[in-house]
Structure 1
Amino acid sequence: MTGPPVRNSIRVSWQRSEASNVDIDRPAPTYLDRFDRETTLTRAAGPVIDALASELTDEPVCIILTDAKGVVLDRRGGDASLLRRLDAVDLAPGFRYAESEVGTNGIGTALEIGGPILVNGAEHYNGQLRVFSCAGALITHPVTGGLLGVLDITTKARNTNSVLLSFAKLAAKRIQERVIEEASALDRALLSDYYAACRHSGGSVIALGDEVFMMNTHAQQHFDAVDQAALIDRARDARGGPKPLVFLTDLPSGTVARMAYQPTFVRDTLAGGVIQIKEQREPATARAQTRIPSIPGTVGTSAVWRHVSQEVLDACTRTDWLVAEGEPGVGKLCLLRAVHDHASSSRHLAILDPAGLPEPDELVAAARAELDSGSDLIIRHAHLLQAEAIDGLTELLQIVRDNAVTDAPWIALTVLADRGQDSGQLDTQLLHFFPRTVVVPPLRHHLEDIPALVRSLLCKAGFADLTLSTTTVNQLMRLAWAGNITQLRGVLTAIARKRRSGVVQLEELPPECRATTRRHLTPLEALERDAIVEALSNSGGDKAAAAGALGMSRATIYRKIRDFGIVT
């Protein structure tokens, strides 16, 4: 870069921009076609930006709101000439104006330094941005301190003045005040619904919002700490849903809990939800059983896993037709197959999958042939069945049930817990033949089984000489495992590609396992997380060196390590 001397903060920003290989001639921000437009930030900022924009109509000043990653959420005000220039450099909703993508600017640089900044015309790294001056002020959550976004005021460079940054900071402060006002209104509404549910139900109640969690005394007295933790996990799964929902969950103690979720709204804004809990305990004779037998082929000793294994075993032993429901990758088919091998090893078990037999008549014919031959049957991914196949299977199962006197076949289905709105025919027509549904729990509900799962998966893959250190296993037990056991198997496979024996240490885990944040990361955030983990590994954990390698300030890398929950 050439030109007159510049401020140190700008010079360092140019160095970061150069290290990020930012194009000096043409800004190239990433465009996200999907991003959340309805957030705490946008709701709080809306009235503030409306008021400011009404005062700046046809003025050469534009108000820009971004999220914490620099993605433009809203753009208001500005005369026609200014707006055309902003469009020409993609400073518009959906584009990410991070410093690493477009160089020094009021949005991205404010995020990098963690504070407000005014970037005047020639101080921009990219040549096409030097016609602007922009002042960016951070917006943080007044209670949690978390970064919400940036309020940026942009004008043509010739119109800049010292008041621009003060204007941005005042607007950001007002938005933060609105965050508190809105949070108070949402929390009051949620609290009101919570108290109403406690009074009317007389039972166990949980309420969850973005920043609020409540559990009444009844729930605390009737469920032990382990069951409470399971209830909270299931409640978190339901949180954020805009519609009422009723679901069953198996608790570690063996209790089946019916959880009824009711969302709370303030006008069109979701404040959270209230969940009323009813116990549906098993008969005393079932609870009195001394010990659930170990089932070869299944791995897990947690109370939750043992309970669901016993349910499937009971159904198979009595030849009760069964539906195994759960998220992808939880082990539904593995559990059904293992239980069948344990309880009915003398009978052949056929497994059919609509994905492998796409023609409806072909699948029905295969099912009929297997049942006629005396086989037991599992239909995997039954939620994928087409209408014609459901009709054919309904007719077939009716014949089997009517004719079954002795030696009846055992039939089971696997379905997704969230199978969409097109499952009406499956639920009302085919599932009528299956008196029981067992919910196979996601891995996050029985994390204590991870050590045994790790050993089993490594042995099955042929890596019996490879073990994980205690610290490494403990880290795996802190993760959310959205992909469940399938994701765990993939992680272990990735590790085994690099080494076949010995003890795997924490720093050898893939980047996705070095961060404990449970929020969903965008593809860009995932790439950023992986880059930070790799830089930390290459620098031996030296954060300053990693920041230098990535072209970040030390303050930025510390903030991102905290935000992503990266273990160092």
Structure 2
Amino acid sequence: MSWQRSEASLVDTDRPAPAYFDGLDLGTTLARAARPVIDALASELTNEPVCIILTDARGIVLDRRGGDKTLIRRLDSVQLAPGFRYAESEVGTNGIGTALEVGGPILIDGAEHYTGVLRGFSCAGAPITHPVTGGLLGILDITTQAKNSNAILLSFAKLSARRIQERILEEANALDQALLTEYYAVCRHTGGSVIALGDEVFMINAHAQQRFDSTDQAALIDRTRDARGGTKPVTFLADLPSGINARLAYQPTFLGDALAGGIVQIKEQRSGPRSTGGGRIPSLPGMTGTSALWRHTTQEVLDACRRAEWLVAEGEPGSGKLTLLRAVHDYSSPGRRLAVLDADDQADLLASATSELDSGSDLIIRNAHLLSAEVIQGLVDLLQSVRDSSVAREPWVALTLLTGQSRGQDELGTQLLRFFPRTVAVPPLRHHLEDIPVLVRYLLGRAGITGVTVSGAALNQLMRLPWAGNVTHLRKVLTDVARRRRSGVVELEDLPAECHATTRRHLTRMEALERDAIVGALASHHGDKTAAASALGMSRATIYRKIRDYGIVT
């Protein structure tokens, strides 16, 4: 079966080419727990013709130890080295990739390897699973030359994998205890609303449960998800469904160098008086959204525009920064020209900006994080001249920036940003998912797609997705759906494969293709996982694991 899978994956039988990944994360739970175990094993096997190899759950080699220089050189020649992925789909039957596929320990001896260059080795791979969750973390592999093969290799690999799992459990207990201790200390000290976030731990104290209803709690949980795993303090705002504006301060908790998790303190913010005197936000041309967070953001931009206050709109790609600025401008200053220049093309940007401002136009410079030092200096001089002029009505100027890309930390960036007293954070779509139903109707209508509606089940699924590309991503998905269904009701099964998986982890191109293939096979076999696995050449254990890993909805 493994050879059939290898053949179906078009693995080169002569010279496989495993993919290489740089920037290995050696601070993971697996890597930390495995390090002392592998250190001890390596010292015991210094003079033995074996190599100890650790991989992650994708088969990417994280560590490799061995004292036999001849064996190390041979492994280098077949790229069985740190950074290379030894998945079965890339190098064929082998002790690492095949152990991942079957979900259990396996010995691949000499000629049992699919590719010729690997038949000089014997490899025993044993899965390492999380002792609490049961999730697959990686593989511990013992490799030697085929002439030295011994049945004890597999027993040794399994024993080593168990040692690593024991270390993970010990560390997990210690990390959880450290997080719990910090959680109780903060609860006692502040007396306020507190959340604790860990890899396998989530706690919300009684004060928060009493203060926030279930809907607000769900929103808080979703909002804190982005902070999970962070190693630096961060503070962010959340507009809750009840209308409460909450300030969330995340502080990481460490045990030595290991991240145990983090503590989030929640404080309610009082909204300051608005220049509009409050009230309902008007319907803006070319834009929609009714969530508390989106209305709050819109109001901030609206207030600034009405006061002719220059501002910066900062957010992720596709979040609607330019759309929001345009809509607010068209509402506040109907009939007044608004010029939009893109910093992606800086050849004539200064000349165009000067011409537009001299003619009295308002101005938006998008992607300002791309501006060169020379253009920034020219803009500083230009904006200063506008400020020094005595025109009856000063033009309105705004910038858009990608989150985290501001040049405000360097001297030139500071000189430019001093002209813009306010920065408005435009939230990513995953922070106001409740806007998706109205966005779907609006985007379909804007694209001229009539006669198509989206079912409640399909809308619910769309509201579960992380939307890495934000509104732009949603627009693309709807366009793709409408290309296949031109009338009637869009049901859950009409959504593209990427919409059937809810994982928030960024997938590689190969992983995305695999996810789509699994979704397609499940659809073709009416949800029958066994039949889908057979069609894909996978074991039942593998397809169940991948369904779980990719968050595929079945």
Alpha-carbon shift at residue 319 of structure 1 (Å) = 2.2
1:10-49 matches, cutoff 5 A: 12-49=1-38
Q: 2: CA distance between counterparts of 1:434 and 1:42?
A: 45
Q: 1: CA distance between counterparts of 2:112 and 2:161?
A: 23
Does residue 299 (structure 1) correspond to residue 285 (structure 2)? The answer is no
1:382-461 matches, cutoff 5 A: 382-403=368-389, 406-419=392-405, 423-425=409-411, 428-461=414-447
Return 120-129 or 70-79, whichever deviates more.
120-129
Contact kept in structure 1, 2:61 and 2:86, CA below 8 Å: yes
CA gap of 1:186–1:510, structure 2 versus 1, over 3 A, is same
Return 398-407 or 533-542, whichever deviates more.
398-407
Write out per-residue CA displacement over residues 73-92 of structure 1, whole angstroms, 9 at most, x where no aligned residue: 11112522322332232222
In the other structure, the counterpart of 1:463 is: 449
| DSSP 3-state at the match of 1:337 | helix
Alpha-carbon shift at residue 290 of structure 1 (Å) = 4.2
Q: 2: CA distance between counterparts of 1:373 and 1:392?
A: 18
1:316 to 305, 315, 336: 305
Q: 1: CA distance between counterparts of 2:94 and 2:386?
A: 71
Alpha-carbon shift at residue 295 of structure 1 (Å) = 2.0
In the other structure, the counterpart of 2:475 is: 489
Write out per-residue CA displacement over residues 353-378 of structure 1, whole angstroms, 9 at most, x where no aligned residue: 2223x14xx43343333233222222
2:527 to 530, 541, 548: 541
Contact kept in structure 2, 1:255 and 1:282, CA below 8 Å: no
Alpha-carbon shift at residue 424 of structure 1 (Å) = 3.1
Alpha-carbon shift at residue 484 of structure 1 (Å) = 0.2
Alpha-carbon shift at residue 28 of structure 1 (Å) = 3.3
1:143 to 129, 132, 138: 132
In the other structure, the counterpart of 1:367 is: 353
Contact kept in structure 2, 1:254 and 1:287, CA below 8 Å: no
Q: 1: CA distance between counterparts of 2:339 and 2:11?
A: 58
Does residue 522 (structure 1) correspond to residue 522 (structure 2)? The answer is no
In the other structure, the counterpart of 1:8 is: none
Return 167-176 or 520-529, whichever deviates more.
520-529
In the other structure, the counterpart of 1:171 is: 160
CA gap of 1:248–1:185, structure 2 versus 1, over 3 A, is same
In the other structure, the counterpart of 1:378 is: 364
In the other structure, the counterpart of 1:502 is: 488
In the other structure, the counterpart of 1:119 is: 108
CA gap of 1:278–1:363, structure 2 versus 1, over 3 A, is farther
Alpha-carbon shift at residue 480 of structure 1 (Å) = 0.3
In the other structure, the counterpart of 1:240 is: 229
Q: Which amino acid aligns with 1:544?
A: T
| DSSP 3-state at the match of 1:238 | coil
Write out per-residue CA displacement over residues 84-137 of structure 1, whole angstroms, 9 at most, x where no aligned residue: 332232222222222222222222222111111222223333333333222211
Does residue 101 (structure 1) correspond to residue 101 (structure 2)? The answer is no
CA gap of 1:83–1:158, structure 2 versus 1, over 3 A, is same
Q: 2: CA distance between counterparts of 1:34 and 1:55?
A: 29
Q: Which amino acid aligns with 1:392?
A: G
Return 231-240 or 323-332, whichever deviates more.
231-240
Contact kept in structure 2, 1:254 and 1:303, CA below 8 Å: yes
In the other structure, the counterpart of 1:9 is: none
CA gap of 1:413–1:227, structure 2 versus 1, over 3 A, is farther
- TM normalised by structure 1 equals 0.90
In the other structure, the counterpart of 2:198 is: 209
Write out per-residue CA displacement over residues 161-199 of structure 1, whole angstroms, 9 at most, x where no aligned residue: 332222111111110011112222322333343344444
CA gap of 1:283–1:245, structure 2 versus 1, over 3 A, is closer
Write out per-residue CA displacement over residues 268-321 of structure 1, whole angstroms, 9 at most, x where no aligned residue: 323333333443311367898443322232111222212222222222223222
Q: Which amino acid aligns with 2:300?
A: E
State the aligned residue count: 554
Alpha-carbon shift at residue 144 of structure 1 (Å) = 0.9
Q: 2: CA distance between counterparts of 1:563 and 1:548?
A: 19
| DSSP 3-state at the match of 1:70 | coil
Q: Which amino acid aligns with 1:241?
A: G
Contact kept in structure 2, 1:390 and 1:425, CA below 8 Å: no
Q: 2: CA distance between counterparts of 1:387 and 1:122?
A: 61
Q: 1: CA distance between counterparts of 2:19 and 2:227?
A: 32
Q: Which amino acid aligns with 1:349?
A: L
Q: 1: CA distance between counterparts of 2:397 and 2:243?
A: 25
Does residue 479 (structure 1) correspond to residue 465 (structure 2)? The answer is yes
- The unaligned stretches of length 5 or more in structure 1 are 1-11
Q: 2: CA distance between counterparts of 1:184 and 1:148?
A: 17
Does residue 194 (structure 1) correspond to residue 180 (structure 2)? The answer is no
Q: 2: CA distance between counterparts of 1:393 and 1:104?
A: 60
The RMSD of aligned alpha carbons is 2.6
Alpha-carbon shift at residue 431 of structure 1 (Å) = 2.5
Alpha-carbon shift at residue 224 of structure 1 (Å) = 4.2
Write out per-residue CA displacement over residues 460-481 of structure 1, whole angstroms, 9 at most, x where no aligned residue: 2222233333222221111000
| DSSP 3-state at the match of 2:538 | coil
Alpha-carbon shift at residue 333 of structure 1 (Å) = 0.8
Write out per-residue CA displacement over residues 176-227 of structure 1, whole angstroms, 9 at most, x where no aligned residue: 0111122223223333433444444444433322222233344444444444
Write out per-residue CA displacement over residues 469-522 of structure 1, whole angstroms, 9 at most, x where no aligned residue: 322222111100011001111212222333433333323322211211112222
CA gap of 1:364–1:104, structure 2 versus 1, over 3 A, is closer
- TM normalised by structure 2 equals 0.92
Q: Which amino acid aligns with 2:83?
A: G
CA gap of 1:562–1:244, structure 2 versus 1, over 3 A, is closer
In the other structure, the counterpart of 1:60 is: 49
CA gap of 1:182–1:225, structure 2 versus 1, over 3 A, is same
Alpha-carbon shift at residue 234 of structure 1 (Å) = 3.6
Q: 1: CA distance between counterparts of 2:507 and 2:142?
A: 28
Contact kept in structure 2, 1:254 and 1:281, CA below 8 Å: no
Q: Percent identity?
A: 72
In the other structure, the counterpart of 2:552 is: 566
Write out per-residue CA displacement over residues 38-70 of structure 1, whole angstroms, 9 at most, x where no aligned residue: 211111001001101100002012111111121
1:270 to 259, 280, 292: 259
Q: Which amino acid aligns with 2:134?
A: G
Contact kept in structure 2, 1:20 and 1:551, CA below 8 Å: no
Q: Which amino acid aligns with 1:377?
A: L
Q: 1: CA distance between counterparts of 2:242 and 2:293?
A: 8
Write out per-residue CA displacement over residues 4-29 of structure 1, whole angstroms, 9 at most, x where no aligned residue: xxxxxxxx323333333333333433
- The unaligned stretches of length 5 or more in structure 2 are none
Return 434-443 or 155-164, whichever deviates more.
155-164
| DSSP 3-state at the match of 1:561 | helix
Return 400-409 or 67-76, whichever deviates more.
400-409
Q: Which amino acid aligns with 2:335?
A: S
